[in-house]
Amino acid sequence: MRILLTGAGGQLATDLAKTLSQEELIPLSHAQLDIVDTTQVKAAVKTAQPDVVINTAAFHRVDDCETEVGRAIAVNAHGVRNLALACQQTGAALLHLSTDHVFGGSKAQPYSEEDIPRPVNIYGVSKLLGEVMIRHILDRSYIVRSSGLFGVAGASGKGGNFVRTMLRLAGEGGPIQVVNDQCFSPTSTADLASKIAWLITTTNYGIWHITNAGEASWYDFAAKIFQLANLRPNLSPTTTADFGAKARRPSYSVLDHGRLRALGVDNLPPWEDALSRYLTQIEVVSPV
Ligand SMILES: NC(=O)c1ccc[n+]([C@@H]2O[C@H](COP(=O)([O-])OP(=O)(O)OC[C@H]3O[C@@H](n4cnc5c(N)ncnc54)[C@H](OP(=O)(O)O)[C@@H]3O)[C@@H](O)[C@H]2O)c1
Q: What does the DSSP assignment read for 212-269?
A: -BS-EEHHHHHHHHHHHTT----EEEE-HHHH--SS---SB-PBP-HHHHHTT---PP
Taking the CA atoms of the chain, what radius of gyration do you get in angstroms?
18
Question: Residue 88 belongs to a domain with what CATH number?
Answer: 3.40.50.720
C-alpha span between 284 and 66 (Å, rounded): 34
- Is residue 106 assigned to a domain? yes
Is residue 278's pLDDT more than 90?
yes
What's the pLDDT score for residue 285?
Answer: 80
> Which atom belonging to ligand 1 lies closest to the Cα atom of 162?
3
Is residue 15's pLDDT more than 70?
yes
For ligand 1, the distance from its centroid to the CA atom of residue 230, given in whole angstroms, is 30
- Predicted TM-score (pTM) of the model is 0.97
What's the pLDDT score for residue 108?
Answer: 83
Q: What is the mean pLDDT of the chain?
A: 96
- Is residue 11 assigned to a domain? yes
Ligand 1 near 186 CB (within 6 A): no
Ligand 1 near 143 CB (within 6 A): no
Is residue 185's pLDDT more than 70?
yes
- Is residue 168 assigned to a domain? no
Ligand 1 near 17 CB (within 6 A): no
Residue 138: domain span:
2-159+187-212+254-268
Ligand 1 near 147 CB (within 6 A): yes
For ligand 1, the distance from its centroid to the CA atom of residue 71, given in whole angstroms, is 13
For ligand 1, the distance from its centroid to the CA atom of residue 158, given in whole angstroms, is 8
- Could you give the angle at which helices 271-281 and 189-199 cross, rounded to 10 degrees? 110
For ligand 1, the distance from its centroid to the CA atom of residue 35, given in whole angstroms, is 12
Tens of pLDDT, residue by residue over 20-46, are 999 999 999 999 999 999 999 999 999
Catalytic residues: 123
For ligand 1, the distance from its centroid to the CA atom of residue 118, given in whole angstroms, is 22
Ligand 1 near 233 CB (within 6 A): no
> Which atom belonging to ligand 1 lies closest to the Cα atom of 60?
47
DSSP 74: I
Ligand 1 near 130 CB (within 6 A): no
- Is residue 171 assigned to a domain? no
Pocket perturbation via mutation, ligand 1, pick of 156, 253, 275 by most ligand atoms within 8 A of CB: 156
Pocket perturbation via mutation, ligand 1, pick of 30, 33, 147 by most ligand atoms within 8 A of CB: 30
- Domain total in the chain: 1
- Is residue 89 assigned to a domain? yes
C-alpha span between 64 and 232 (Å, rounded): 31
pLDDT-based confidence at residue 284 (cuts at 50, 70, 90): confident
> Which atom belonging to ligand 1 lies closest to the Cα atom of 96?
45
Percent of the chain with pLDDT strictly greater than 70:
99
Tens of pLDDT, residue by residue over 136-158, are 999 999 999 999 999 999 877 77
What's the pLDDT score for residue 158?
Answer: 76
Contact 188, 213 (CB under 8 A): no
Is residue 288's pLDDT more than 70?
no
C-alpha span between 200 and 162 (Å, rounded): 28
- Is residue 179 assigned to a domain? no
- Is residue 205 assigned to a domain? yes
- Is residue 285 assigned to a domain? no
